[in-house]
Amino acid sequence: MKSAELNVREDMVRLCKSLFDRGFSVGTAGNVSVRLEDGILMTPTNVTLGDLVPERIAKIDLEGNHVAGDRPTKEVFLHQAFYETRPQAGAVVHLHSTWATALSCLMDVNPDDCIPPLTPYVVMRVGAVKLVPYVKPGDPKSGELVRDLNGQYGAVLLGNHGPVVSGKDLFSAVCAAEELEETAKLLVALRGQKTKLLSKEEVAELQTTFGTI
């Protein structure tokens, strides 16, 4: 195994444990992947994010064949779809974090903008978030739903399931997933209150200054 790949595996162990220890993932829920030059590393199925072993992290090649480590997450299709439609994506984080999942269960969420611009940081780190319809976990259709978005969204909220967030690298994807969760918490806490969102002009200023996701 090349040292660069081993470093990525060790980073996955460290950052996934951080997510688990802070309650962003419970039990065996959630999965994380990182794109390599010759394939994709993915957390294995039925393993907690807090108990990963570098050498046992799954690896698939560019054709989707399992080539190393334990069997990959059953959500492999979801991860592949992000990489295939977003060349800038270097990592994908899928969580069942409490508040984002709660938001995905509400009836009146705007499916085209389910995480509205409440704070500058959700604009800067996450961008617009699409709500996609519920499908059974592990169903290849989840990948089809993401592919149908043609790479327009760096993050989606799976109906009645939870968030999936991509980033240029693993650290960026983890930070974006955390920002989405905290913003979802604020949105649920503020429901029923008169809430001021950032204006279109303020969002545009952020995008001009910091770039789009």
121 is catalytic: yes
Q: What are phi and psi of 173, to 5 degrees?
A: -65, -40
What residues have CB less than 8 Å from 193, skipping those under 6 apart? none
Q: What is the greatest pairwise CA distance in the chain?
A: 55
Catalytic residue among 83, 121, 134, 205: 121
Measured CA distances, 146 to 20, 45, 166 (Å): 25, 21, 12
Catalytic residue among 5, 75, 178, 181: 75
178 is catalytic: no
Question: Angle at CA 36, nearest 5°, toward 34 and 41?
Answer: 45
Active-site residue set: 75, 121
